[in-house]
Amino acid sequence: MEAAVNNMAAAGPGGRPTALAGAGSAATAAALAATLGLAAACWVVSVWQMTGMNMGTATSLGSFGFFIAVWAAMMAAMMLPGAAPATLRRAQAGGVRAVPLFVGAYLAVWALAGVLVYVVDRPHGTLVAGVVTIAAGIYEFTPLKRYYRRRCQETTSSGLGFGLCCIGSSVGLMAVLVALGVMSIPWMVVIAVIVLAQKLLPPIPAVDVLLALAITGLGVLIVVSPAMVPGLAPPM
């Protein structure tokens, strides 16, 4: 009887023991810290691997093994911070043990996207880079982009589904990175910031339109006057 009274006294407003609630909060915080810590470590690895590799539009991807290793680190660095809210929701819904599988499946989707990049991307000229950038800017205007962006902010059922939705949301931005220089650290930072903002912030039509116009305008500038865009040509 005394034990029952003590348990009731330890219960929170909803009847859940505060000790269990505290343990759940601590585990969730640990999952968040691990996710962001992995992202930070991958930023260090990515910068280390990519230093001296950027040749603008003339960048060669190297061997398949090397590229996939670099790409996997890049995707973890760029995409995990924006996936933190989904990781927390997944931990709350399925427990902390569900987090590694969720994150692993999410990153596996992005790794498979790297296989496609390796197949299609070759050193190219500024015209191709400009056309791809224009297409990416136009994609930002489409209902498909808005749909996948919303789904990327809501989906937590599986890492696979979450990854596919986030690819749908970010495919245009990632195409810009590949077209302008897949080994470019400055472009990686710029694209990562935009992707993070679009994952964490609610859509603001005026801002979204300005971003789409800016990307499209950048593509036009690359086509018309590529010398005005730094980093497109190999450094002399």
Please list the pLDDT of the chain residue by residue as tens digits (236 residues): 344 434 433 444 444 444 434 445 776 787 788 899 999 999 999 999 999 899 999 999 999 999 999 999 999 999 999 999 998 888 887 777 888 999 999 999 999 999 999 999 999 999 999 999 999 999 999 999 999 999 988 866 789 999 999 999 999 999 999 999 999 999 999 999 999 999 999 999 999 999 999 999 999 999 999 999 988 876 55
**Spatial separation of the C-alpha atoms in residues 57 and 30, rounded to whole Å:** 41
pLDDT in tens, 45-56: 999 999 989 999
The predicted model scores a pTM of 0.86
Phi and psi, residue 126, nearest 5°: -70, -25
Predicted local distance difference test score (pLDDT) of residue 208: 96
pLDDT in tens, 25-81: 776 787 788 899 999 999 999 999 999 899 999 999 999 999 999 999 999 999 999
